[in-house]
Protein backbone atom coordinates (compact mmCIF):
# COMPACT_ATOMS: atom_id res chain seq x y z
CA UNK A 1 0.00 0.00 0.00
CA UNK A 2 1.44 3.39 -1.01
CA UNK A 3 1.85 6.24 1.47
CA UNK A 4 -0.75 8.99 1.59
CA UNK A 5 2.02 11.59 1.25
CA UNK A 6 5.61 10.90 0.35
CA UNK A 7 8.66 13.15 0.02
CA UNK A 8 11.46 11.74 -2.10
CA UNK A 9 14.90 13.33 -1.79
CA UNK A 10 13.42 16.79 -1.35
CA UNK A 11 15.71 19.82 -1.29
CA UNK A 12 14.54 23.41 -1.01
CA UNK A 13 16.36 26.69 -1.09
CA UNK A 14 15.29 30.32 -1.25
CA UNK A 15 17.72 32.22 -3.42
CA UNK A 16 21.13 31.03 -2.32
CA UNK A 17 19.92 29.94 1.13
CA UNK A 18 19.39 26.15 1.43
CA UNK A 19 16.68 25.13 3.91
CA UNK A 20 16.11 21.42 3.23
CA UNK A 21 18.53 18.83 1.83
CA UNK A 22 17.56 15.40 0.52
CA UNK A 23 14.60 14.88 2.84
CA UNK A 24 12.65 11.63 2.40
CA UNK A 25 9.49 10.96 4.43
CA UNK A 26 6.41 8.77 4.10
CA UNK A 27 3.20 9.61 5.95
CA UNK A 28 0.79 6.81 6.80
CA UNK A 29 -2.97 7.19 6.64
CA UNK A 30 -4.65 7.87 9.98
CA UNK A 31 -1.42 8.53 11.91
CA UNK A 32 -0.13 11.67 13.58
CA UNK A 33 3.37 12.77 12.57
CA UNK A 34 4.97 15.51 14.67
CA UNK A 35 7.89 17.50 13.26
CA UNK A 36 10.25 19.11 15.76
CA UNK A 37 13.52 21.01 15.57
CA UNK A 38 14.99 24.46 16.00
CA UNK A 39 13.40 27.50 14.41
CA UNK A 40 14.52 27.89 10.80
CA UNK A 41 15.35 24.23 10.16
CA UNK A 42 12.60 23.78 7.56
CA UNK A 43 9.64 22.23 9.39
CA UNK A 44 6.95 24.64 8.16
CA UNK A 45 8.51 24.66 4.70
CA UNK A 46 8.20 20.86 4.68
CA UNK A 47 4.48 21.08 5.46
CA UNK A 48 3.92 23.61 2.67
CA UNK A 49 5.77 21.33 0.26
CA UNK A 50 3.51 18.45 1.32
CA UNK A 51 0.41 20.30 0.18
CA UNK A 52 2.03 21.97 -2.83
CA UNK A 53 1.93 25.50 -1.46
CA UNK A 54 5.65 25.49 -2.31
CA UNK A 55 7.53 23.50 -4.93
CA UNK A 56 10.81 21.73 -4.18
CA UNK A 57 14.10 22.85 -5.70
CA UNK A 58 14.92 19.17 -6.19
CA UNK A 59 13.10 15.90 -5.58
CA UNK A 60 9.40 15.15 -5.76
CA UNK A 61 6.28 15.01 -3.62
CA UNK A 62 3.76 12.21 -4.13
CA UNK A 63 0.09 12.03 -3.19
CA UNK A 64 -1.33 8.51 -3.05
CA UNK A 65 1.75 7.15 -4.79
CA UNK A 66 1.62 9.57 -7.75
CA UNK A 67 3.97 12.54 -8.18
CA UNK A 68 2.16 15.87 -7.90
CA UNK A 69 3.86 17.05 -11.08
CA UNK A 70 2.08 14.29 -13.04
CA UNK A 71 -1.27 16.01 -12.34
CA UNK A 72 -2.81 18.93 -14.18
CA UNK A 73 -3.19 22.24 -12.37
CA UNK A 74 -6.95 21.63 -12.21
CA UNK A 75 -6.40 18.24 -10.56
CA UNK A 76 -3.95 19.74 -8.06
CA UNK A 77 -6.42 22.45 -7.04
CA UNK A 78 -9.18 19.86 -6.60
CA UNK A 79 -7.03 17.42 -4.61
CA UNK A 80 -5.64 20.16 -2.40
CA UNK A 81 -9.15 20.48 -0.96
CA UNK A 82 -8.39 17.18 0.83
CA UNK A 83 -5.99 19.14 3.04
CA UNK A 84 -6.90 21.28 6.02
CA UNK A 85 -4.31 23.74 7.32
CA UNK A 86 -4.34 25.41 10.74
CA UNK A 87 -1.95 28.34 10.45
CA UNK A 88 0.14 29.50 13.38
CA UNK A 89 -1.92 32.65 13.82
CA UNK A 90 -5.18 31.01 12.64
CA UNK A 91 -5.15 33.34 9.56
CA UNK A 92 -8.79 34.34 9.90
CA UNK A 93 -10.24 37.08 7.71
CA UNK A 94 -10.46 40.12 10.00
CA UNK A 95 -13.35 41.71 8.10
CA UNK A 96 -15.55 38.59 8.28
CA UNK A 97 -17.53 37.23 11.19
CA UNK A 98 -16.74 33.86 12.73
CA UNK A 99 -19.63 32.31 10.82
CA UNK A 100 -18.44 33.78 7.52
CA UNK A 101 -14.88 32.62 8.18
CA UNK A 102 -15.94 29.03 8.78
CA UNK A 103 -18.35 29.12 5.81
CA UNK A 104 -15.78 30.64 3.44
CA UNK A 105 -14.34 27.41 2.00
CA UNK A 106 -17.78 25.83 1.68
CA UNK A 107 -19.12 28.75 -0.31
CA UNK A 108 -16.05 28.91 -2.51
CA UNK A 109 -15.79 25.21 -3.29
CA UNK A 110 -19.10 23.46 -2.62
CA UNK A 111 -22.53 23.86 -4.16
CA UNK A 112 -24.62 23.94 -1.03
CA UNK A 113 -27.88 25.58 0.05
CA UNK A 114 -27.66 28.17 2.80
CA UNK A 115 -29.36 25.78 5.21
CA UNK A 116 -26.67 23.17 4.57
CA UNK A 117 -23.91 25.73 5.10
CA UNK A 118 -25.50 26.86 8.37
CA UNK A 119 -25.72 23.25 9.57
CA UNK A 120 -22.10 22.44 8.75
CA UNK A 121 -20.75 25.66 10.25
CA UNK A 122 -22.76 25.12 13.43
CA UNK A 123 -21.64 21.50 13.72
CA UNK A 124 -17.97 22.34 13.26
CA UNK A 125 -18.04 25.20 15.77
CA UNK A 126 -19.64 22.88 18.31
CA UNK A 127 -17.02 20.23 17.50
CA UNK A 128 -14.30 22.62 18.68
CA UNK A 129 -16.23 23.57 21.80
CA UNK A 130 -17.60 26.96 20.78
CA UNK A 131 -21.13 28.19 21.44
CA UNK A 132 -22.56 29.13 18.05
CA UNK A 133 -25.01 31.66 19.50
CA UNK A 134 -22.16 33.44 21.28
CA UNK A 135 -19.40 33.52 18.65
CA UNK A 136 -21.05 33.30 15.22
CA UNK A 137 -21.44 37.05 14.72
CA UNK A 138 -18.22 38.13 16.38
CA UNK A 139 -15.17 39.36 14.44
CA UNK A 140 -11.77 37.72 15.03
CA UNK A 141 -10.52 40.79 16.93
CA UNK A 142 -13.18 40.11 19.58
CA UNK A 143 -11.85 36.61 20.28
CA UNK A 144 -9.06 35.32 22.50
CA UNK A 145 -6.07 33.59 20.94
CA UNK A 146 -7.41 30.17 21.85
CA UNK A 147 -10.82 30.92 20.37
CA UNK A 148 -9.24 32.13 17.13
CA UNK A 149 -7.29 28.87 16.90
CA UNK A 150 -10.48 26.90 17.39
CA UNK A 151 -12.32 28.91 14.75
CA UNK A 152 -9.41 28.28 12.36
CA UNK A 153 -9.68 24.57 13.09
CA UNK A 154 -13.46 24.64 12.57
CA UNK A 155 -12.94 26.34 9.19
CA UNK A 156 -10.54 23.59 8.11
CA UNK A 157 -12.79 20.80 9.38
CA UNK A 158 -15.80 22.24 7.55
CA UNK A 159 -14.21 20.98 4.32
CA UNK A 160 -14.05 17.42 5.69
CA UNK A 161 -10.31 17.00 5.03
CA UNK A 162 -8.42 13.71 4.77
CA UNK A 163 -5.26 15.40 6.07
CA UNK A 164 -4.88 18.10 8.73
CA UNK A 165 -1.68 20.12 9.00
CA UNK A 166 -1.08 22.11 12.19
CA UNK A 167 1.61 24.81 12.24
CA UNK A 168 2.56 25.56 15.87
CA UNK A 169 -1.02 25.01 17.08
CA UNK A 170 -0.34 25.89 20.74
CA UNK A 171 2.03 28.85 20.31
CA UNK A 172 0.98 31.82 22.44
CA UNK A 173 -1.63 29.88 24.41
CA UNK A 174 -1.75 29.25 28.14
CA UNK A 175 -1.22 25.66 29.36
CA UNK A 176 -4.92 24.88 29.72
CA UNK A 177 -5.87 26.18 26.28
CA UNK A 178 -2.84 24.40 24.82
CA UNK A 179 -4.19 21.16 26.23
CA UNK A 180 -7.62 21.94 24.75
CA UNK A 181 -6.01 22.25 21.30
CA UNK A 182 -4.08 19.00 21.83
CA UNK A 183 -7.32 17.23 22.78
CA UNK A 184 -9.01 18.62 19.66
CA UNK A 185 -6.17 17.29 17.48
CA UNK A 186 -6.70 13.83 19.01
CA UNK A 187 -10.49 14.05 18.72
CA UNK A 188 -10.28 15.13 15.09
CA UNK A 189 -8.09 12.15 14.25
CA UNK A 190 -10.27 9.67 16.12
CA UNK A 191 -13.61 10.89 14.78
CA UNK A 192 -12.71 11.04 11.12
CA UNK A 193 -9.54 8.92 10.76
CA UNK A 194 -7.79 12.11 9.70
CA UNK A 195 -4.07 11.95 8.97
CA UNK A 196 -2.34 14.66 11.03
CA UNK A 197 0.98 16.46 10.59
CA UNK A 198 1.98 18.80 13.41
CA UNK A 199 4.86 21.26 13.62
CA UNK A 200 5.55 22.23 17.22
CA UNK A 201 8.09 23.23 19.86
CA UNK A 202 5.67 22.18 22.60
CA UNK A 203 6.85 18.93 24.18
CA UNK A 204 3.46 18.41 25.83
CA UNK A 205 1.99 18.29 22.33
CA UNK A 206 4.65 15.78 21.31
CA UNK A 207 3.87 13.53 24.27
CA UNK A 208 0.13 13.77 23.86
CA UNK A 209 -0.67 13.60 20.15
CA UNK A 210 2.27 11.99 18.30
CA UNK A 211 2.39 8.50 16.87
CA UNK A 212 5.72 9.34 15.26
CA UNK A 213 8.27 12.09 15.87
CA UNK A 214 10.74 13.37 13.29
CA UNK A 215 13.42 15.89 14.24
CA UNK A 216 15.13 18.17 11.73
CA UNK A 217 18.50 19.80 12.32
CA UNK A 218 19.64 23.11 10.77
CA UNK A 219 21.84 22.64 7.72
CA UNK A 220 24.35 25.15 9.07
CA UNK A 221 25.04 22.80 11.99
CA UNK A 222 25.72 19.60 10.05
CA UNK A 223 28.33 18.48 7.54
CA UNK A 224 27.62 18.12 3.81
CA UNK A 225 27.26 14.35 4.08
CA UNK A 226 25.22 14.23 7.31
CA UNK A 227 21.44 13.64 7.18
CA UNK A 228 19.22 16.54 8.15
CA UNK A 229 16.73 14.25 9.88
CA UNK A 230 18.49 13.27 13.10
CA UNK A 231 15.63 11.37 14.73
CA UNK A 232 12.66 9.36 13.48
CA UNK A 233 10.76 7.23 15.99
CA UNK A 234 8.12 7.08 18.71
CA UNK A 235 7.64 9.75 21.38
CA UNK A 236 8.99 7.37 24.03
CA UNK A 237 12.13 6.78 21.98
CA UNK A 238 12.54 10.53 21.51
CA UNK A 239 12.36 11.23 25.24
CA UNK A 240 14.71 8.35 26.09
CA UNK A 241 17.34 8.92 23.38
CA UNK A 242 20.92 9.68 24.39
CA UNK A 243 21.82 11.75 21.31
CA UNK A 244 22.53 15.15 22.95
CA UNK A 245 21.22 17.06 19.92
CA UNK A 246 17.80 15.48 20.45
CA UNK A 247 17.76 15.25 24.24
CA UNK A 248 18.87 18.86 24.78
CA UNK A 249 16.18 20.14 22.44
CA UNK A 250 13.44 18.05 24.04
CA UNK A 251 14.45 19.04 27.57
CA UNK A 252 15.00 22.68 26.66
CA UNK A 253 18.64 22.65 27.75
CA UNK A 254 21.07 25.18 26.32
CA UNK A 255 23.99 22.74 26.48
CA UNK A 256 26.73 23.54 24.03
CA UNK A 257 24.92 26.68 22.84
CA UNK A 258 25.98 28.48 26.02
CA UNK A 259 29.56 27.47 25.31
CA UNK A 260 29.23 28.91 21.81
CA UNK A 261 27.94 32.21 23.23
CA UNK A 262 30.86 32.29 25.63
CA UNK A 263 33.30 31.69 22.79
CA UNK A 264 31.74 34.55 20.85
Full 3-state SS string of the chain: CCCCEEEEEEEEEECCEEEEEEEEEEECCCCEEEEECCCCCCHHHHHHHHCCCCCCCEEEEEECCEEHHHCCHHHHHHHHCCEEEECCCCCCCCCCCHHHHHHHHHHHHCCCCHHHHHHHHHHHHHHCCCCHHHHCCCCHHHCCHHHHHHHHHHHHHCCCCCEEEEECCCCCCCHHHHHHHHHHHHHHHHHHCCEEEEECCCHHHHHHHCCEEEEECCHHHCCCCCCCEEEEECHHHHHHCCCHHHHHHHHCCCCHHHHHHHHC
Per-residue pLDDT band at 90 (split at 50, 70, 90): confident
pLDDT value at position 262?
Answer: 56
Per-residue pLDDT band at 193 (split at 50, 70, 90): confident
Q: What is the mean pLDDT of the segment spanning 26-51?
A: 92
pLDDT digits (tens, 9 = 90+) for 102-112: 999 888 888 88
> Above 60 in pLDDT, residue 261?
no
pLDDT value at position 97?
Answer: 94
Q: Where are the domains of the chain?
A: 1-82+162-233, 91-160
> Above 70 in pLDDT, residue 54?
yes
> Above 60 in pLDDT, residue 1?
no
> Above 90 in pLDDT, residue 139?
yes
Q: Which CATH number fits domain 1-82+162-233: 3.40.50.2300, 3.10.129.10, 1.10.3720.10, 3.40.50.300?
A: 3.40.50.300
Q: What is the mean pLDDT of the segment spanning 84-102?
A: 87
Amino acid sequence: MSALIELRNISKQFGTQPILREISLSIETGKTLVLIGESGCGKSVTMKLMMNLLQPTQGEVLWDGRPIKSRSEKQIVKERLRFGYLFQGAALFDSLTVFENVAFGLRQNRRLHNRQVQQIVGDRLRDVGLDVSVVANKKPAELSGGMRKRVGLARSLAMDPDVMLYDEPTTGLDPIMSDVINELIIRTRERSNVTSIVVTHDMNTVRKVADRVVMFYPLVRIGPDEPQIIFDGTPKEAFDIEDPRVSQFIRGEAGERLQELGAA
